[in-house]
Amino acid sequence: MKLFRLFLMAIFLLQGALTFAAKVDSLDIPSAAMNRTYKAAVVLPNSYAKSKAAYPVLYLLHGGGGQFSDWLKQTPDKQLLHNIADQYNLIIVTPEGERLGGYLDSPVKPDNKFETYITKEVISKIDNTYRTIRDRNGRVITGLSMGGHGALYLATRHPDLYSAAGSMSGALDLDPKHWDIAPEFAAQIKPAFASILGPLGVKPDYYAANSVVHMADKMKENDVKLVIDCGVDDFLIEPNRELHRRLVYNGTPHDYTERPGGHTWDYWENSLPYHVLFFSKVLKGNGAMVQ
Amino acid sequence: MKALQKFLLLALFCLAFTSTTLGANVDTVVVASAAMSKDVKAAVVLPASYKKEKKASFPVLYLLHGGTGSYRDWLSKTPDKALLHRLADEHNLIIVTPDAGPTSYYFDSPLDKTSQYETFISKELIDKIDNTYRTVRDGKGRVIAGLSMGGHGAFYIASKHPGLYSAAGSMSGVMNINTATWKVPAEFAQLRAQNFSKLLGPPQDASNPYPEYTAVGRTEELKNSGLKLIFDVGIDDFLIDTNRDLHRRLLENGTPHTYIERPGAHTWEYWGEALPYQVLFLTNILKENGTIVQ
């Protein structure tokens, strides 16, 4: 009889597992490099708790005016990340990159070390906290706007860490003279950029040195799978077209999409599932998907 | 005690059965085409949920084959032979792959009575499918896509019948039927040009032989149709210029559309990769229309 009760319990738990949804952890991830602690959100698929498998991780970066919680709070569908995590058995991490932190180690601002933070400190904290695939085969990265640039920038400079990278509406050229924006907006962001990249128009040109639009040859050397998209009404469409042209010209395999829309959360909510479909194929090819 | 044991075993068995072993089913239907006085075949992929959801009406994706192809192509030539089954199951979608002959280009030929495939696809096939299966019987539940000649066919037919479909997709599509725009050997271009003459009569002029019969000539119709549009092409495809040209023209006249370039050429590896993205796009439209079965 006792056995049967256990049996019933097992069936009950099995059924329960089918209806649980993804769970979100809020995690403190300290940065020794910056001597600060930032929060990250970690979306765990519902299968995670009952599984013993190591999971692949999607690092999902926010934009220039945003913060780590954006991808969970700003999308029109507040369950977007939960549903994607569940559908693909994927851990999704949204780390902090600060307002206009640029996801780089600033050559002029010593306490802006977001390249070190995302590529070393965040990864090691996540790999030591969760059951993850602890190498590039199970790691992919994408983001929106500044985070799109950041994802391509970090993966291009650290091809040993990520097997695929994406950009949605990415600021792929950090020099705002290539953006289609009003002079007032340009004037407004200029000081923030200057604080991490120095003044424009001086040597060395840190803007050019750190822009992924100038990294097509490095991308070609790497074996990081690339997915890039932009809305045709986006003020960043031209730098996206420019990188696409350069990657076509030098023969670097990549997916490139233009679709309706501007620099909006409607656009990014629609775009993310296409990136994840792309990543799921790469991860499957790596044997890194949890069945 | 024994009864309980039996009951539990049965319950477990049912659970396992319903959740794992039911996959999509494939029917072959024969459509009697009055327009062409012949029988034409189509394969119909029914999602696993079709049998279980006995009262639901299902949306339909019409998926067209390419030149020198047949209705079996999409089920037999993709690297993953279960691709259509999986997509049908994942999205609760009926997928219909009709036959259109090797080189019909989905036209109603004014010259060849046996080549009336616009009428076949847009009327006879839809009637047959809607009267055989539990479908959403209007444009809100109907989308159309295809590869190569079929990509052209999807855009051509959908733009000629506004409201019949809510979205159209093209993979590696022949977006310009002027064979001079294809990167192919001169003999092949010549052969296909002769085929168009046979179907449509002599070209109207050299650079724009049949403007109303090709996507790049139908940009105003595409704009006014209200169709949601997606088209993609591999950067090593011989049709890339026709796709880039259509993208440019639709940007110019302000027609919303999704355009993708990715690695690859005119191959089944490419179409096996491309289809899941097309289906994601098309089912998003069906979701917005409220016609996806939950």
Residue A198 clears pLDDT 80, i.e. is over it: yes
Mean pLDDT, chain A, whole residue set = 94
**Which residue shows structure tokens 């009697």?**
B32
Specify the range with the lowest mean pLDDT, choosing from A142-151, A175-184, B134-143.
A175-184
* Residue-level pLDDT at A4: 58
Residue B22 has pLDDT above 80, yes or no: no
Cβ proximity of B122 and B100 under 8 Å: no
Domain-embedded: residue B9: no
- Whole-complex ipTM: 0.92
DSSP string, B28-70: EEEEEETTTTEEEEEEEEEPTHHHH-TT--B-EEEEE--TT--
Instruction: Please tell me if residue B78 touches chain A, with a CB cutoff of 8 Å.
Output: no
Instruction: Show residues of chain A in contact with B5, CB under 8 Å.
Output: 4
| Structural domain contains residue B197 | yes
Q: Confidence band (pLDDT; 50, 70, 90) for B2? A: low
In the three-class reduction of DSSP (H, G, I as helix; E, B as strand; rest coil), residue B82 is classed as: coil
Task: Check B263 against A254: CB less than 8 A apart.
Answer: yes
pLDDT at A17: 45
Higher pLDDT, B21 or A227: A227
Q: Flag whether B12 is in a domain.
A: no
**Residue pLDDT, tens place only, B272-294:** 999 999 999 999 999 999 999 98
Give the pLDDT score at B8.
Answer: 54
Side-chain half-sphere exposure of B177, counting CA atoms within 13 A? 34
Cβ contact B171:B151 at 8 Å: yes
Q: Tokens 């693909």 belong to which residue?
A: A88
pLDDT confidence band for B207 (50 / 70 / 90): confident
* B17 pLDDT tier (thresholds 50, 70, 90): very low
Overall domain count for chain B? 1
Q: In this structure, is the dihedral angle defined by the CA atoms of residues A271, A277, A283 and A285, taken in order, positive or negative?
A: negative
pLDDT digits (tens, 9 = 90+) for B114-144: 999 999 999 999 999 999 999 999 999 999 9
Residues A12-25 have a mean pLDDT of 65
User: What is the Cα–Cα distance from B185 to A130, expressed in whole angstroms?
Assistant: 56
Peptide bond between residue B79 and the one before it cis (omega within 30 degrees of 0): no
Cβ pairs A/B, distance under 8 A: 45
* pLDDT score recorded for residue A20: 57
pLDDT, residue B57, reads: 98
pLDDT digits (tens, 9 = 90+) for B61-120: 999 999 999 999 999 999 999 999 999 999 999 999 999 999 999 999 999 999 999 999
- Predicted local distance difference test score (pLDDT) of residue B5: 61
CB atoms A11 and B12 under 8 Å: yes
Q: Is the pLDDT of residue A11 over 60?
A: no
Q: Assign residue B161 a region (left: φ > 0; alpha: ψ between -120 and 50; beta: otherwise).
A: beta
Binned at pLDDT 50, 70 and 90, residue A57 comes out as very high
Query: CB neighbours (10 Å) of residue B243?
Result: 28
Rounded to 5°, the CA angle B210-B211-B212 comes to 100
Q: Which residues of B touch A232 (CB under 8 A)?
A: 251
- B276 and chain A in contact, CB less than 8 A: yes
Examine residue B191 and state whether it is found in any structural domain, yes or no.
yes
Interval A33-62 mean pLDDT: 98
Q: Does residue B48 belong to any structural domain of this protein?
A: yes
The domains located in chain A, with CATH, are 21-285 (3.40.50.1820)
Residue B227's CATH number: 3.40.50.1820
B5 lies in some domain: no
Question: What residues make up the domain containing B220?
Answer: 22-288
Asked, for residue B1, whether it belongs to a domain, the answer is: no
Q: Rg of chain B over CA atoms, in angstroms?
A: 20
Q: What is the pLDDT of residues B150-202, one digit of tens each?
A: 999 999 999 999 999 999 999 999 999 999 999 999 999 999 999 999 999 99
- Cα separation, B102 vs B45, whole angstroms: 22
A57 in Cβ contact with A132 (< 8 Å): yes
Q: Which of residues 12-71 of A touch B (CB under 8 A)?
A: 14
* A248, A274, A277 ranked by CB distance to B235: nearest: A248
Instruction: Output B254 or A21, whichever has higher pLDDT.
Output: B254
Helix (H, G, I), strand (E, B) or coil at B273: helix
A19 has pLDDT over 90: no
Helix (H, G, I), strand (E, B) or coil at B143: strand
Which residues in chain B (11-50) have CB-CB distances under 8 A to chain A? 11-12, 15
Q: What does each C-alpha distance from A121 to A116, A155, A219, A287, B166 come to in angstroms?
A: 7, 15, 24, 26, 48
Angle at B134 between CA B128 and CA B139, to 5 degrees: 70
Tell me the chain A residues in contact with residue B240 when contact means C-beta distances shorter than 8 Å. Answer: none
CA distance A96 to A115: 11
Closest CA to A109 of A189, A210, A191, A197: A197
Where does residue A218 rank: exposed (0-12), middle (13-18), buried (19+ CB within 10 A)?
Answer: middle
pLDDT digit string, tens, across residues A79-131? 999 999 999 999 999 999 999 999 999 999 999 999 999 999 999 999 999 99
Q: What's the confidence (pLDDT) of residue A5?
A: 59
Flag if A232 and B11 touch (Cβ within 8 Å). no
Distance from CA of A227 to the nearest CA of B (A): 9
Task: Tell whether pTM > 0.90.
Answer: yes
Q: What sign results for the dihedral spanned by CA atoms B132, B138, B142, B146?
A: positive
Q: Is residue B226 part of a domain?
A: yes
Task: Name the pLDDT band for B16 (thresholds 50, 70, 90).
Answer: very low
Backbone angles phi, psi at B200, to 5 degrees: -120, -5
